Structure 1
Amino acid sequence: MTQDGDIITLKDAAQHFGFSVYTLRTEADNQRLTIYKIGRRYYTTPGDVKEMIQLCRVEQKARAFTSIRSASSSSSETDRLSSALAAANESALRLKNSSKNTLGTSIALPRRARP
């Protein structure tokens, strides 16, 4: 079994960690993986691959909505929120009812008189 400091080929590292050689080369080009060129071959260490994995870690996104409960949360606050929702719904209903129906009369063409 190899230690974190043992030098292995990129092919062996790719097989061991489940990556392709192309992926490891790309990560080296992006300076997230340390590689060594000895002769014509490229090498790395298991420790370097583990470090690359940590560097590639994606932070989790924060939730879009979080509910924070405070000590002041009470029925009066709930009533205030319900009242605001009711007012918004009433405003929407008034706006909807105040618009005229334009479908039937505005597009009807005038009738022609018969000779």
Structure 2
Amino acid sequence: MRPAITGLVLLALVLSVCLVSGCALPKVDVTPLTKTEYPVNRGSVDILDGPPDEAFAKVARLEVNDEDGDMEALSRKAASLGADAIIMDERKTFRDSVLAPYGAKARYRTGGIAIKYLRPSLPPKAQ
């Protein structure tokens, strides 16, 4: 019984250290831009540098603070909101107000608009 308890304690310790050190995905800030709720997108989310040629609806503004501008976190959040793509429009660098031992640390704020393509629904197939 002792080895199992020791294993659980070790696992809990490792998970705690991982969470404290930032192993988890960064928090994505969401500002809804519509009251319409879309089903979760189970496919991929396109990352765009500008608006697409086809019609779309704005779903939400997404922003994340992360040193790498974590696109995975933005894509997952967009998909959970039913978005098909993110129009990237922001990448800001700022310095922390708290100085690290080696100087101010650079941080990034990355953001964009999650969108849903407005594709006309197809008529039912004739049988």
Instruction: Answer whether TM exceeds 0.5 for this pair.
Output: no
Give the number of the structure whose residues are more often helix, by fraction: 1
TM-score, with structure 2 as normaliser: 0.22
Give the number of the structure whose residues are more often strand, by fraction: 2
Bigger Cα Rg? 1
TM-score, with structure 1 as normaliser: 0.23
